[in-house]
Amino acid sequence: MFRENSETALAKLEKHLSDISIRGLELIDPQQLTQAARALMTAEHDAVAAFDEERLASIIDLYIRTGIQVQSPGYMGRQFSGVVPLAGVIDFVSSMVSQPASFYEAGQLPSAVERIMAEELNRFIGYDPGRFTMVTTSGGSLANLTALLAARNEKLPGYWSQGASAVRGQPRPAIAVGADVHYSVARAAGVLGIGDAQLVRLPLNKQQQISVGEVRATLEAAERQNLKVFCMVASAGGTSVGAFDPIDELAAIAEERDLWLHIDGAHGASLLVSDALRDKLRGIARADSLAWDAHKMMFVPAPCTMLFYKNRETALSAFRQKASYVFEEEQDIYTAFDSGPKNFECTKRPMIMTLWALWAIYGRSLFAEKIEYLCGLTGEAYEILRADPDFETPHRPEANILCFRYHPAGYGGASGKKLDKKALHHLQVAIRNRVKSEGNFFISKVDIDGAAALRVVMMNHQITAEHFRMLLSEIKRTGRELIESDESEEGTGKA
Ligand SMILES: Cc1ncc(COP(=O)(O)O)c(C=O)c1O
């Protein structure tokens, strides 16, 4: 029966994977979808219902059909990846063998493999092999929270046990971040009792990177406001435009002022495995911690995040707890491999297995080649935009995220009007929504300098420059239609 059920799923997934037609996201009314899901549920409540093969087939169909089509070249919208199918196969095995990964006893191979992957990837980070450590967490948000917790415990002793009273009478603890930092960092500051209003926002330059020249003055201004900055967070591949903050220069400032330096590399740390792109994270070995999502640019199913620490001791100090049913006072050869003391989760998916299996079978180049292709493709897309007077490009892409605006050249329209900032903003939002609802492409949008921009994220190596040109044609057609309909509304007094 297990084989038959698996084969049902396999046949459907095989068809799904081989469909590389260009399609976006079909958003279904949630009420309708809920109804469709309810209609698939058995009416039998008093006994175990008889197995219904058709019900299973319909459940799988509905699941596949209503997802983001990450394998399609039309998917350019978000940061989670088109998954390498083999990683999905390993994930399937993980579900069946059920080996939670926080304790060696429960997940032997995942615990051993976590160490192997830590060592493999640390070759590109460059931490002292005798001192560093890594722990997997369910997502980059949790990795950021965990790292900031370790930072807080290291720099503000007593906070773990006494809470905010440990710093009563002293300047308020604060965290310095790039002005465009991912929201999970602000959320972590709230969770940790630092307070999200105690974030000191470091100004950005035109490329949306932290502007190094302004950091010292901003930190000094914070001190004058009675804040004690104990930690600085920089991004390696920021969410909005994929900007890489200058880690080496920021590390020098962090060392000078005794700040914990955390790098949120959820998106871009994967560039480390590429010889051609590693330099984007120059200085990474000077950071105290690094969050790295493998479910983004290492193409494995979500979640699979790794949190690296320069110093094992500080990782262990993130959670200072006793729990005799799981934590051993005296480590033995087995418990030395437990990751439980280093992470928030107790039962944790053996997420490293997918990454390790791909690494074990194909080696580093699988990842490096895909990443280099996607970053190269994004660079090519940027050049296509620059050569087209109908588009403006507010930034030069550093990795595989590219933002741009449709702003037709010489636009004067029937009314001879120019698009002002507000109109430009609304036009991008309307284009994004129309493109999404037409269902050929799935792209996102982000606000840059107060006006929306269209955003593409290249996460699937089956996307080519030709697909990008097709997207641009659709954007132009849509944009023109929207402008014309606006004008005709103005003409008829409907505006
Ligand atoms: C820069 C950055 N940090 C953190 C996160 C959060 O990661 P996760 O979605 O794995 O929780 C994201 C997600 O897109 C991100 O782009």
pLDDT one-digit tens code per residue, 302-315: 999 999 999 998 88
pLDDT digits (tens, 9 = 90+) for 178-236: 999 999 999 999 999 999 899 999 999 999 999 999 999 999 999 999 999 999 999 99
SS3 298: coil
User: How confident is the model over 20-43, as a mean pLDDT?
Assistant: 95
Say whether pLDDT at 485 is over 90: no
What pLDDT was estimated at residue 492? Answer: 47
Cβ(355)–Cβ(117) under 8 Å? Answer: yes
User: How confident is the model over 39-57, as a mean pLDDT?
Assistant: 97
What pLDDT was estimated at residue 81? Answer: 86
Q: Quick one: CATH architecture of 1-29+53-84+363-495?
A: Alpha-Beta Complex (3.90)
Question: Binning pLDDT at 50, 70 and 90, where does residue 323 land?
Answer: low
Cβ(95)–Cβ(353) under 8 Å? Answer: no
Please report the atom of ligand 1 found closest to the CA of residue 144.
4
Give CA angle at 116 (271, 129), nearest 5°: 80
Does residue 141 have its Cβ closer than 6 Å to ligand 1?
A: yes
Count the helix, strand and coil residues of the chain and give each as a percent rounded to the nearest 5: 50, 15, 40
Using DSSP, how many helices (H) and how many strands (E) does the chain show?
Answer: 16, 11
C-alpha 306 to ligand 1 mean position (Å): 12
What the block records as the tokens of 480 is 């023109």
Say whether pLDDT at 493 is over 50: no
Please report the atom of ligand 1 found closest to the CA of residue 305.
10
Say whether pLDDT at 410 is over 90: no
Mean pLDDT value across the chain: 93
Give Cβ neighbours of residue 265 (< 8 Å, ≥ 6 apart).
235, 236, 237, 281, 284, 290, 291, 292, 293
What pLDDT was estimated at residue 494? Answer: 44
Say whether pLDDT at 340 is over 60: yes
Please give the distance of CA 383 from its chain centroid, rounded to a whole number.
Answer: 25
pLDDT digits (tens, 9 = 90+) for 428-465: 999 999 999 999 999 999 999 999 999 999 999 999 99
Give Cβ neighbours of residue 203 (< 8 Å, ≥ 6 apart).
179, 210, 211, 214, 218
Q: Check residues 82 and 78 and name the one with the higher pLDDT.
A: 78
pLDDT digits (tens, 9 = 90+) for 124-176: 999 999 999 999 999 999 999 999 999 999 999 899 989 999 999 999 999 99
Q: Whose CA is nearest to atom 8 of ligand 1?
A: 140
C-alpha 177 to ligand 1 mean position (Å): 15
Say whether pLDDT at 390 is over 80: yes
Pairing of strands 305-309, 133-137: antiparallel
Q: Whose CA is nearest to atom 5 of ligand 1?
A: 140
Does residue 267 have its Cβ closer than 6 Å to ligand 1?
A: yes
Alpha-carbon distance of 151 to 460, in angstroms, equals 35
The torsion angle over the Cα atoms of residues 355, 358, 364 and 365, rounded to 10 degrees, is -130
Question: Binning pLDDT at 50, 70 and 90, where does residue 372 land?
Answer: very high
Question: Binning pLDDT at 50, 70 and 90, where does residue 331 land?
Answer: confident
User: How confident is the model over 49-77, as a mean pLDDT?
Assistant: 95
What pLDDT was estimated at residue 321? Answer: 61
Based on C-alpha coordinates, what's the Rg of the chain? Answer: 25
C-alpha 266 to ligand 1 mean position (Å): 5
Phi and psi based region of residue 478 (left: phi greater than 0; alpha: psi -120 to 50; beta: remaining): alpha
Could you give the percent of the chain with pLDDT greater than 70? 94
Alpha-carbon distance of 461 to 349, in angstroms, equals 27
Question: What ranges in 40-139 are assigned the alpha helix state H?
Answer: 53-65, 85-97, 108-125
Q: Whose CA is nearest to atom 16 of ligand 1?
A: 239
What is residue 159's DSSP assignment?
Answer: H
Selection from 265, 261, 345 nearest residue 311 by Cα: 261
What the block records as the tokens of 469 is 């040109």
The CA distances from residue 36 to 51, 63, 69, 86, in Å, are: 19, 11, 20, 31
Say whether pLDDT at 298 is over 70: yes
- Classify domain 99-362 by CATH number: 3.40.640.10
Does residue 241 have its Cβ closer than 6 Å to ligand 1?
A: no
446 burial (CB, 10 Å; 0-12 / 13-18 / 19+) is: middle
What DSSP element (H or E) covers 128? none
Tell which one of 81, 267, 292, 444 to mutate to probe ligand 1, the residue whose CB is within 8 A of the most ligand atoms.
267
What the block records as the tokens of 14 is 């095989």
Domain boundaries, the chain: 1-29+53-84+363-495, 99-362
Residues, the chain, total? 495
Alpha-carbon distance of 184 to 301, in angstroms, equals 20
Please report the atom of ligand 1 found closest to the CA of residue 268.
1
What DSSP element (H or E) covers 107? none
Pairing of strands 227-235, 401-406: unpaired
